[in-house]
Structure 1
């Protein structure tokens, strides 16, 4: 009888596994147990004109007596850790019309397509011919260029960090500073490079209207190389007017403002990040390092969208300062460059702002040149990768690509040669 009872319990546990997820049934140690619902707590009934008898005077819980209601305690001093801020409706910057904000941690779901729609831009693959001609001309090369670039990579990956596998947030800024230093040593040959300034930890803010919504870009965005003289326009007048026939990309049924922060407390403010009278007012090149500002890394597609949005914000904020708030087609387009990297892979972008009339999809569009996924090197390993007693990746630097730094240098020298 005991053996039959044990076999029956095992059969129940094996034949009814699906019933264990049903409401009110649980199989535990071969037994079928019916779960009990928690007892619902009765709500307090208030009768007008009658005061409930509570255990306030008893100073302890008494069954059968009502729970006393104490008034909210208010501090007589300001505690910064427990301070209650005002409601959104009571703030002076509150507006009924919401605003969609793009900041340094925003990752667009549709990536470049969504950024093209938000900035009303046309995309062209590859860098402009003017920059490519500088990159291919041997007259603009640095003496012992390849050896110096390899030394910069070794400094960032091997010499500056004691770890075998340094974190990206550590070696990426070191590599960027070393590459910029190699570009700056060209100043004796090109004196115009002395009229530039590199700024860090500055904030940009730009607002615009797109169809029926208000959009804003604000926050930190890497390092900005600014100059006393603006960059020349890449596209001529005929090419700018031909963008009137270009159709912006669509990603229906996804909303264009997906992943953007919605807020009702904002300020319609356009600021380049510098005060009036700054001797280097024109943005030249924006350098974005993937792990220098935030801990969460960006994939290449959201990183390229971030490049477009912040470069557009730089150009738009400068255009609002020069030409006012009224939307118009610019007679002198504003050009801003951008370089983004994760320490190994580089993205190059050139943005030309042709119009500030961004509300509709018709009319002149802005132009973007994008050269993506350019590797400076393949691997930089302190220890070799060995699989099945075969060296798959050797120790040290391997797979160096000199064309990537040539484009990096060409963007830096653009406007001075």
Structure 2
């Protein structure tokens, strides 16, 4: 009886099912998914893909290029011809089989080079004599005392607030961001004097300008090349000399420091693969060929700025050497009749270092004769850095694991009332003096 009661509903349940109809099977066999609303049926067509590519190229064109094409004008400066580089499966060897291999090695200074002996090592490599006793040249000091702009202190304060507080909503603004924005803000404030001094309008700026300067220092071949994280300002006319010829001739009596038994090239990269051409960073015919000021930023969190000042000296010397070799020839080792001056402002957004380099000679093979000159005014604090104001570090609850998932991040709190206290406007006066140098008689 129990089996009968259990089997009856099972029997009825199986009998209630019906076989699928032929119409249903046919509909499933010919089923096609409906296209989405955003799908364009022309996307798979070759002609449509070509049209989309041409449309993307038109969107990337700048306004100046569109205007030139509209009126059928050629660009003022034609783009340089770039060498085509093919990446194959074969690896380029670093031995004699490399086409750029040379028997004499070169000691190369790149943007990441760190000089352990500091500024003295950079001065030996550039055959430079320190000047000014830690101060700027007298002409620049006079400009810092005389040149002013209206509402200077308020404008500088607003520029700092913009870069440190209102430029981004993130909790922590990195030095690479606010340092470069602050340099741009200070240059924008200084450009107000363009109506007073018209020569300021004959300048241009370039980000990440590449330079390659190669010269013989003693028995070694030294090269300074690379693309430092900097902003280069160029001018139509060169900067005037900082000292007269009598003081330049008196530099013969100065003796360069000795690093024996350490070689001054110990921190440089030694390689036998390199090109033998110097490059100023600009093609022939550029209307602003003379390097004026190099604004270099400190992208590393290091309290010791000796490496930043040393790098500023090397790259200011590199821009001066390339310009001198462009004018007098690459193989000419002569004393320059007209010295070449290049300025450098090295900063991390808070601390500023002002470097002035004057190239007097191209005779780098010996330590005798006329020396180059460099002025370094370092450790100028524009304001008191108060970031971060409040740091909370959360412990990991005695967890010994070192995985990233077990490490909690720091939380910072930014107070608008803090951050740019103790503003020192005299630092901006020095910055402004470097900017107007060459435009004010």
**Which residue pairs with 2:142 in the alignment?**
133
**Which residue pairs with 1:194 in the alignment?**
201
1:146-195, Cα deviation, whole Å (9 max, x unpaired): 11001111111111121333211121111111011111121011111010
* 4+ residue segments displaced more than 6 Å: none
**Which residue pairs with 1:210 in the alignment?**
217
Rounded to whole Å, the distance in 2 between the matches of 1:269 and 1:197 is: 25
* 2:128–2:374 contact (8 Å) kept in structure 1: yes
Rounded to whole Å, the distance in 1 between the matches of 2:249 and 2:426 is: 33
**Paired residues, number:** 328
Matched, 1:332 2:341: no
Rounded to whole Å, the distance in 2 between the matches of 1:416 and 1:384 is: 45
Structure 2 residue aligned with 1:408, among 413, 420, 431? 431
Superposition TM-score, scaled by structure 2 size: 0.71
Structure 2 residue aligned with 1:112, among 113, 116, 119? 119
**Alignment of structure 1 residues 12-31 onto 2, 5 Å:** none
1:390-411, Cα deviation, whole Å (9 max, x unpaired): xxx9724211111100000000
Structure 2 residue aligned with 1:153, among 135, 152, 160? 160
**Which residue pairs with 1:173 in the alignment?**
180
Rounded to whole Å, the distance in 2 between the matches of 1:119 and 1:379 is: 34
**SS of match in other structure, 1:186:** helix
**SS of match in other structure, 2:96:** helix
* 1:384–1:395 contact (8 Å) kept in structure 2: no
**SS of match in other structure, 1:127:** coil
1:98-157, Cα deviation, whole Å (9 max, x unpaired): 1000011111111101001000000112101111001011xx211100110011111111
**Which residue pairs with 2:354 in the alignment?**
348
Q: Which runs of 5+ in 1 are unaligned?
A: 1-78, 387-392
Rounded to whole Å, the distance in 1 between the matches of 2:91 and 2:216 is: 33
Rounded to whole Å, the distance in 1 between the matches of 2:241 and 2:94 is: 47
Superposition TM-score, scaled by structure 1 size: 0.75
Matched, 1:316 2:313: no
**Which residue pairs with 2:297 in the alignment?**
289
Shift of 1:91: 1.0
* 1:126–1:370 contact (8 Å) kept in structure 2: yes
Structure 2 residue aligned with 1:182, among 179, 186, 189? 189
Shift of 1:92: 1.2
Rounded to whole Å, the distance in 2 between the matches of 1:398 and 1:149 is: 12
Matched, 1:142 2:142: no
* 1:381–1:394 contact (8 Å) kept in structure 2: no
* 2:94–2:101 contact (8 Å) kept in structure 1: no
Structure 1 residue aligned with 2:284, among 269, 272, 276? 276
Larger Rg: 2
Rounded to whole Å, the distance in 2 between the matches of 1:301 and 1:396 is: 25
Matched, 1:223 2:246: no
**Which residue pairs with 1:163 in the alignment?**
170
Larger fraction in strand: 1
**SS of match in other structure, 2:432:** helix
Q: Which runs of 5+ in 2 are unaligned?
A: 1-85, 393-415
Taking a change above 3 Å as real, the CA distance of residues 383 and 86 of structure 1, as seen in their structure-2 partners, is closer
Rounded to whole Å, the distance in 1 between the matches of 2:301 and 2:164 is: 20
Shift of 1:379: 2.1
Taking a change above 3 Å as real, the CA distance of residues 396 and 101 of structure 1, as seen in their structure-2 partners, is closer
Rounded to whole Å, the distance in 1 between the matches of 2:155 and 2:171 is: 22
**Alignment of structure 1 residues 378-393 onto 2, 5 Å:** 378-381=384-387, 383=389
Rounded to whole Å, the distance in 2 between the matches of 1:113 and 1:333 is: 22
Let me know the Cα RMSD of the aligned residues: 2.0
Structure 2 residue aligned with 1:250, among 250, 258, 271? 258
**SS of match in other structure, 2:214:** strand
Rounded to whole Å, the distance in 1 between the matches of 2:123 and 2:388 is: 41
Rounded to whole Å, the distance in 1 between the matches of 2:353 and 2:418 is: 26
Shift of 1:228: 0.7
